[in-house]
Amino acid sequence: MYKTKLSCWQGLPPPQYVYANLRFKGVALEPPNFEPGSWCGAGKCVLDIENEEFILTSRPRKVEGDVRGFAANIYKSKDGVKYDLVSSLLAEEVAEKSKIKIHSIEGTQLLKDPLTGQWYFYLSCDTGPEFIWGGIFWETMLFAADDLKGPWEYQDLVIRHGLGQAYDAVQSRDSSIDIVDGKWWMLYRAHDREWRIRMALATSADGINWTKHGPFLVDGAEVFKFGMSGTTFAGTFGPTFMGLCSRTGLDYRRRRETREVDFCAFNIDRKDMNLETIFRGPWIPKSPYELKQSPLHGSYSSMVYDPWKNRMLLYVEAIGLETKEVGLNTNIERQLVYESQL
């Protein structure tokens, strides 16, 4: 499947090579406007092999009028960089069809069901009892359609917070979903009642009915305030994740939170619920569109192999130079494309 420059590389393209050869390719999506708090990203890229197109999802966000994440959009592209809008699910439509009051949409994922050929569109939604910036309770909804243009029909809340499990008692959101060897894998951010963040796993045979397996260890240890977003590939030793991961800490001198974002790859050990590090390297901005001292707000990313040009494409949500002050409601963020030629 993957062609590499050196025949001694087996299995997936080495993440070390992918990381070392990442080059900025272009701007995939601009934010809704350039007012503080305007974002675009939190999506997934997949291939439409039949039509030789890239499909990309995104969540646009605005602050003015307390709008927050107001839609889940789907775009298509021939070159993986320049995208055109195909369809949009507005937050009001999501609430009307699901009969659930939502305050915002965040991470989105899109896959085609190999059995039915339907498109499955997963949305992270703020279902909290009231409007709060950042939200309290988050869950994952599923919509389905025969065509990317819709109409999109509500299926279910496929991953609910809580349900007797402490590790995701508050939030189950911002998933990275892929189909590996016929099994659906969902890695999602789980928040407990103490607001500790871990990555958790759910699997499915059909993309609709999911089984939770609990939170992951990272290299055999419990790691809190840790999140990641990207793509799960079929590796020689089993499912292998590649994308971005973030770790939140505290700057005691300045008395504020800090966030470090790395390019990362992990072997996913389902038996021991462990993420075994293959590689981690700090994110180094290489585009003229990223705030150098704080290029990424979090780990929102998606990676796809381009068989037509034999390259890996990485999509990241980046904080733009237009940002005057880094913060939840002051960032201006767009979706960028990085390329690693194999």
Two structure tokens written together for 65: 């009028």
The Cα 338–Cα 174 span in angstroms is 21
- pLDDT of 91 reads 98
What are the C-alpha distances in Å from 336 to residues 17, 47, 64, 83?
20, 17, 24, 12
Two structure tokens written together for 328: 């939840």
Print the SS3 string covering 310-334.
CEEEEEEEEECCCCCCCCCCCCCEE
Structure pTM?
0.96
The Cα 297–Cα 314 span in angstroms is 16
251 pLDDT higher than 70: no
Query: Phi and psi of 202, rounded to 5°?
Result: -135, 145
Average pLDDT over residues 31-38: 97
The Cα 185–Cα 171 span in angstroms is 18
Residues 6+ positions from 266 with CB-CB distance below 8 Å:
218, 228, 240, 241, 275, 276, 277, 278
Instruction: Write down the architecture of domain 18-341 according to CATH.
Output: 5 Propeller (2.115)
Residue-wise pLDDT tens digits, 211-233: 999 999 999 999 999 999 999 99
Residue-wise pLDDT tens digits, 61-120: 999 999 999 999 999 999 999 999 999 999 999 999 999 999 999 999 999 999 999 999
6 pLDDT higher than 90: no
Two structure tokens written together for 295: 């290029």
250 pLDDT higher than 60: no
What's the whole-number average pLDDT of the chain? 94
Side-chain-facing half-sphere of 12: CA atoms under 13 Å? 25
b vs e for 198-209, b when ≥16 Cβ sit within 10 Å of the residue's Cβ?
A: bbbbbebeebee
What are the C-alpha distances in Å from 220 to residues 157, 216, 274, 341?
31, 9, 6, 33
Two structure tokens written together for 331: 């960032």
Query: Phi and psi of 166, rounded to 5°?
Result: -70, -35
Q: How is the chain split into domains, by residue range? A: 18-341
